[in-house]
């Protein structure tokens, strides 16, 4: 590049170098326009929409502020949806904590550095492959003629499965269309989000504390219950934020393995899609936001944010 | 990291539980790979009655799969580009200067991935319907880029923190034009971070389903095609092949990105 041609750009760069505020504005303008205007604007549009209403006669959205959608949320059918989703989220969260604890404990306490790196990769790897396909794979596993059923028949345990499926609420015609199957799949897709924070919290428990506890005469079981568990608890809460929130907002798993009993995510999708009632759908998304706001407030008290 | 007591040994039960969880996490995907080759075409029968590569040929001739794949690839490429530009600019701004609202920028970048996808989705859907914008490739890209900016931002910011700004000043002192400085100093030092961030954004976009359902209208990306099959299965063998495509389309870029940034950023953690 010749000097003569470069000089205007040179002058520009000197100009910008001397005016960091201007340079900063130029750097920030595009991302702020995108995230600040498009994204935050959309979130605002969502909130605004939730106060509009749908004219059931014309099917048009009436742009007049009203609380009608929020009143509609408290219809028995909608309360059912909310309770169903929240209890599934709670069950998944508790199960994930129980299942995640042993592997996290092994990773933090016993694995060699190399082994820990491998285990870490082993836990992360599923998160890297497509979430949708991982859900789909369970459709193949849980089908009536699928992998799991075959395995159980080989082990002569199919009677147990049939008994479980005959139970009300959690049962169904086959595992691939039942609340129980849905629970297993939720547990599977969100489990890594629970393992990682628990492992991080356990890694920070100093060995000296455990030795001190043993020296003071505590049995291993007692040390575990009174030293390890309380120290790992913030990690559990941090993990539960993910498992709970992700379950609340999901619609892929309920669609893939559920029946006509809707979950929050499905309700939102159904209202905005087939019913074309975006205002009610918008009001419905406020529910997981409010639940999560409560959850976050409680979680903050346990110190979970330091364990993230 | 806790120092290990020399006698510490994991009990058999703990080891067994660890192995069981690992199997639980990994076996399902191998099932998909197996079923892509099964001769059974109506059910998910296990064990497969026989193996065939026939379905690859069948999938190859399906126009709807090609259309969905091509839409997904276009969306992912455009998303990666948009995320690269926006994420790099935001990272440069946050790294270079201390300014009022700096924390807000980081917060804004992370927010779309911290909120459940369904909220981002319905929010964009509301805006689209309020403004009366017709659905197109661009409405999908806008949705995807919003939550993909963060992966580029994280990667590039981490790299900026490890490279000295004095190099840029030295280059300009020695008479390089801004273009030359960018080309020979800045770009080489952040190249792998850009590549890794771009690939992560590509992978995130390629398998995204939640936000896409709200911003796609009648268009079908590959994940939407699979999702429709999930709820109303009609083309099971072909769905298995499409699922393999999606695995490859997300797994390979993320693995490459991870190798490129190994030891610097935890690439996968920004997953969802």
Ranking B18-22, B51-55, B215-219 by mean pLDDT, the lowest is B51-55
Quote the CA–CA distance of B142 and B33 in Å, as a whole number.
Answer: 33
pLDDT score of A2:
46
pTM: 0.83
Instruction: Compute the distance between CA of residue A54 and CA of residue A160 in angstroms, rounded to an integer.
Output: 48
In this predicted structure, what is the pLDDT of residue B250? Answer: 82
**What share of chain A in percent tops pLDDT 90?**
22
Mutation target to probe the A interface, by most A beta carbons within 10 A, among B106, B123, B179 is B123
pLDDT for residue B66 is more than 50? yes
Please report residues of A whose CB lies closer than 8 A to that of B25. Answer: 122-123, 125-126, 188, 191-192
Distance from CA of B176 to the nearest CA of A (A): 9
How far does chain A reach from its first CA to its final CA, in angstroms? 50
Are the beta carbons of B63 and A163 closer than 8 angstroms?
no
For the cut 60, the answer to whether the pLDDT of residue B36 exceeds it is yes
Q: What is the set of domains in chain A, with CATH numbers?
A: 3-49 (no CATH), 76-307 (1.10.3720.10)
Report the alpha-carbon distance of residue A159 to residue A203 in Å, rounded: 42
Q: Where are the domains of chain B?
A: 26-267
A110 at the B interface (CB within 8 A)? yes
A308 lies within 8 A of chain B by CB: no
Residue B113 pLDDT > 90? no
Find the mean pLDDT for residues A148-169.
Answer: 86
Mean pLDDT along residues B5-17: 77
CB A200 within 8 A of CB A307: yes
Given a cut of 90, whether residue B39 has pLDDT beyond it is no
Cβ contact, residue pair B130, A49, below 8 Å: yes
- Residues in chain A with CB shorter than 8 Å from the CB of B130 are 45, 48-49
Among A28, A38, A141, select the one facing B93 at the smallest CB separation. A28
Asked if A128 lies within 8 A of B24 by C-beta distance, the reply is: no
Report which of residues A107 and B249 the model is more confident about: A107
Q: Cβ separation of B149 and A130 shorter than 8 Å?
A: no
- A290 closest CA partner among A68, A105, A96, A86: A86
Q: Is A100 in Cβ contact with B1 (below 8 Å)?
A: no
Q: Is the pLDDT score of B57 beyond 90?
A: no
- Answer whether residue A93 shows pLDDT above 50: yes
The answer, yes or no, to whether residue A4 has pLDDT greater than 80, is no
The lowest-confidence range among A188-192, A228-232, B13-17, B233-237 is: B233-237
Q: Do B108 and A129 touch (CB under 8 A)?
A: no
| Encoded tokens for B148 | 């993909």
Fold of domain B26-267: MetI-like fold (1.10.3720)
- What percentage of residues in chain B have a pLDDT greater than 70? 93
The answer to whether A266 and A36 are in contact (CB under 8 A) is no
d(CA A76, CA A268): 16
**Torsion B69-B258-B198-A127 (CA) sign:** positive
When scoring A39, A114, A181, A211 by the number of chain B Cβ atoms within 10 A, the one with the most, hence best to mutate, is A39
List A62's β-bridge partners, or say none.
A53
Which residue in chain B is spatially nearest to A20 when comparing CA positions? B97
Higher pLDDT among residues A59 and B180, named by residue: B180
Confidence tier at B271 by pLDDT (50, 70, 90): very low
Chain B touched by A278 (CB under 8 Å):
yes
Whether the predicted pLDDT of B144 surpasses 60: yes
Q: Is the previous residue joined to A210 through a cis bond, with omega within 30 degrees of 0? A: no
Q: Is the ipTM above a cut-off of 0.90? A: no
Q: Which residues of B touch A205 (CB under 8 A)?
A: 2
The answer to whether B181 touches B241, Cβ cutoff 8 Å, is no
């Amino acid at each position: 590049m010749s000097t003569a041609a470069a000089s205007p750009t040179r002058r520009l760069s000197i100009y910008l170098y001397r005016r960091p505020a201007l340079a900063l504005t130029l750097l920030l303008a595009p991302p702020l326009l995108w995230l600040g205007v498009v994204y935050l604007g959309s979130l605002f549009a969502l909130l605004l929409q939730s106060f509009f209403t749908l004219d059931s006669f014309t099917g048009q959205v009436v742009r007049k502020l009203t609380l009608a959608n929020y009143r509609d949320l408290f219809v028995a059918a909608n309360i059912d949806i909310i309770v169903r989703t929240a209890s599934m989220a709670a069950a998944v969260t508790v199960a994930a904590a129980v299942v995640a604890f042993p592997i996290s404990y092994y990773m933090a306490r016993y694995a060699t550095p190399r082994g820990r790196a491998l285990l870490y990769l082993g836990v992360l790897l599923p998160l890297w492959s497509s979430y949708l396909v991982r859900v789909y794979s369970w459709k193949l596993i849980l089908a009536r003629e699928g992998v799991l059923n075959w395995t159980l028949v080989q082990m002569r345990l199919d009677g147990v499965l049939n008994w479980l499926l005959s139970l009300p609420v959690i049962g169904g015609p086959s595992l691939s269309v039942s609340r129980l199957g849905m629970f297993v799949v939720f547990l599977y897709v969100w489990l890594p989000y629970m393992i990682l924070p628990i492992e991080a919290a356990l890694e920070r428990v100093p060995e000296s504390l455990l030795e001190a506890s043993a020296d003071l005469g505590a049995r291993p079981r007692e040390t575990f219950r009174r030293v390890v568990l309380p120290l790992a608890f913030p990690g559990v809460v941090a993990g539960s934020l993910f498992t709970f929130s992700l379950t609340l907002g999901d619609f892929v798993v309920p669609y893939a393995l559920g029946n006509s009993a809707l979950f929050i995510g499905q309700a939102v999708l159904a209202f905005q899609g087939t019913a074309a009632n975006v205002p009610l759908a918008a009001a419905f998304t406020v529910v997981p936001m409010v639940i999560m706001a409560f959850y976050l407030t409680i979680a903050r008290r346990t110190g979970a944010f330091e364990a993230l | 990291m806790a120092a290990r007591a020399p006698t510490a040994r994991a009990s058999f039960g703990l080891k067994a539980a660890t192995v069981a969880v690992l199997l639980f996490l990994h076996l399902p995907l191998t099932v998909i790979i197996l079923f892509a080759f099964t001769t059974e075409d109506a059910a998910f029968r296990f064990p497969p009655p026989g193996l065939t590569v026939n379905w690859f040929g069948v999938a190859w001739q399906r126009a709807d799969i090609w259309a969905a794949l091509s839409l997904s690839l276009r969306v992912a490429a455009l998303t990666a580009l948009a995320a690269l530009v926006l994420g790099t600019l935001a990272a440069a701004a946050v790294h270079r200067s201390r300014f009022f609202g700096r924390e807000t920028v980081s917060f804004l970048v992370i927010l779309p991935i911290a909120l459940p996808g369904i909220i981002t989705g319905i929010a964009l859907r509301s805006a689209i319907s309020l403004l009366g914008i017709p659905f197109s490739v661009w409405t999908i890209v806008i949705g995807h880029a919003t939550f993909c900016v963060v992966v580029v931002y994280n990667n590039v910011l981490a790299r900026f923190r490890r490279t000295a700004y004095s190099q840029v000043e030295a280059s300009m002192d020695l008479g390089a034009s801004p273009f030359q400085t960018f080309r020979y100093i800045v770009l080489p030092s952040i190249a792998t971070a850009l590549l890794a961030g771009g690939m992560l954004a590509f992978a995130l976009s390629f398998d995204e389903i939640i936000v896409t359902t709200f911003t796609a209208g009648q268009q079908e990306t590959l994940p939407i095609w699979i999702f429709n099959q999930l709820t109303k299965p009609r083309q099971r063998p072909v769905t298995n092949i499409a699922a393999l495509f999606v695995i490859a389309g997300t797994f390979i870029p993320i693995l490459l990105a991870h190798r490129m940034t190994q030891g610097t950023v935890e690439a996968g953690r920004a997953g969802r």
